[in-house]
Amino acid sequence: MSNISMAFENGKAFIPFITCGDPDLETTKKIVREAVSNGADLIELGIPFSDPTAEGPVIQEANERALKGGVTTDLIFDMVKELREDITIPLVFMTYANVVYSYGPEKFMTKCKETGIDGIILPDLPFEEKEEFDPVCKKYGVDLISLIAPTSENRAAMIAKNAEGFLYIVSSLGVTGTRDVIDSDLGPIIKTVRENTKIPCAVGFGISTPEQAAKMAGISDGAIVGSAIIKIIKEYGRQSPSHVGEYIRRMKDAL
């Protein structure tokens, strides 16, 4: 069984997203540890990319700050290896297909296994093209996590049947970013998911308040939050870990 299932064993899961290296990797390590101590069940670690097509302005800017600071994929693997000395919850990478291609899929997944990465999310990889990476992911025990969007209704059953780790349910059309209201009717998609897999599903894109998190977790198995956390990091910089920890505690309590 995938290590990722651990994140969903104790009720609804709270999943924060953090851009590695924003503002620097030492701060990222502190943020991860604060997230864990305040109730995060699984953490998405973003590997910065120069053209993050699924991201809104907040996370785009975080990618730019991290890249300007000299962050590389190798340095991020080193960071994960160090974190794994005391962090046991599931960790997954969220990045883009070109990052893995340019590094070399075999080498990338080998490093994931060696450092303790449990899964990978590639938002620009269509489900129909997952065979580009799926065999090498399976070879090294890394779950290739699929996304289902509001427009995926006709494909949701197929995606769910082949799901690994957990299913990332995209709450809204468009790019990442906080939203005042999440008005997509995700009920039918989640019903289809439940009918076709026992793999848990969590909702992301747009969630920023405890009320939104509770609502989304109410219809799924957890809530994913990125932009709201990145905003805190941008505001407080190297002093952000404790502020992120407080925010995660409020969100986890809401679930």
- What domains, with CATH codes, occur in the chain? 3-254 (3.20.20.70)
Give the pLDDT confidence score for residue 236 in this predicted structure. Answer: 98
Helices (H) and strands (E) in the chain, counts: 11, 9
Model pLDDT, residue 182 = 46
Task: Give every residue of the chain whose pLDDT is below 50, as ranges.
Answer: 174-183
So what's the pLDDT on residue 154? 79
pLDDT for 21: 98
pLDDT score, position 115: 98
Amino acid 178: pLDDT: 43
